[in-house]
């Protein structure tokens, strides 16, 4: 049986399969970063809950958590978690606006993507200054 769809001519278009050289538009980059930050937060959740549980168990465990969290590497991890949370929240608000059909034009999509990056970066910087 013949296909009801017409055959499309085969095009010899160049294919770029190197993911490191592809230039994504900024809305796509922000969308991917939104997914990555959400996955990072989800995977880190058991560790964060365990640290909270340990710190609430008794005064000695609280002191141990205090010592652990004052280490510079732990502060960097806290800063990464802070950025992930802030970026995910800002990008989530942007996605909710897009779902409500606000900002669907290309120039608005690019502007809101830049705003997400700037706002989450500035808030993370502020939290980093407070953290150190």
Buried b (16+ CB within 10 A) or exposed e, 83-97: bbbbbbbbbeebeee
Q: Average pLDDT, stretch 11-37?
A: 86
Question: How many domains is the chain partitioned into structurally?
Answer: 1
pLDDT at residue number 1: 61
pTM, to two decimals: 0.80
- pLDDT of 23: 85
89 in a structural domain: yes
Residues comprising the chain, all counted: 132
Following CA atoms 42, 43, 45, 47 in sequence, which dihedral angle do they give, to the nearest 10 degrees?
-170
Asked whether residue 12 is assigned to any structural domain, the reply reads: no
Position 76 in a domain: yes
> Could you tell me if residue 69 is inside a domain?
yes
The rounded distance, in Å, linking the Cα atoms of 79 and 85 is 10
pLDDT band at residue 15 using 50, 70 and 90 as cut-offs: confident
Q: Does 20 reside within a domain?
A: no
- Work out the number of other CB atoms within 10 angstroms of the CB of residue 47: 11
The more confident residue out of 98 and 22 is 98
Q: Is residue 4 part of a domain?
A: no
CATH at residue 108: 1.20.1300.10
Angle at 119 between CA 78 and CA 41, to 5 degrees: 35
Is 58 a domain residue? yes
Range 110-124 average pLDDT: 97
- Could you tell me if residue 107 is inside a domain? yes
pLDDT tier at 2 (50, 70, 90 boundaries)? low
d(CA 77, CA 98): 31
> What pLDDT score was predicted for residue 102?
92
String of b and e for 50-79 (b: at least 16 CB within 10 Å)?
Answer: ebeeebeeeeeeeeebeeeeeeeeeeeeeb
pLDDT of residue 90: 97
């Amino acid at each position: 049986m013949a296909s009801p769809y017409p055959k499309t001519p085969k095009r010899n278009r160049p294919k770029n399969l190197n993911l490191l050289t592809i230039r994504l538009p900024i809305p796509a980059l922000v969308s991917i970063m939104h997914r990555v930050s959400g996955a990072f937060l989800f995977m880190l959740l058991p560790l964060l809950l365990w640290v909270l549980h340990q710190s609430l168990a008794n005064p000695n465990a609280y002191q141990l958590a205090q010592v652990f969290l004052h280490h510079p590497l732990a502060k960097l991890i806290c800063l990464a978690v802070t950025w992930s949370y802030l970026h995910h929240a800002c990008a989530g608000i942007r996605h909710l606006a897009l779902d409500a059909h606000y900002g669907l034009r290309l120039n608005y999509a690019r502007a809101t993507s830049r705003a997400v990056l700037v706002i989450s970066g500035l808030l993370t910087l502020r939290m980093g200054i407070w953290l150190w």
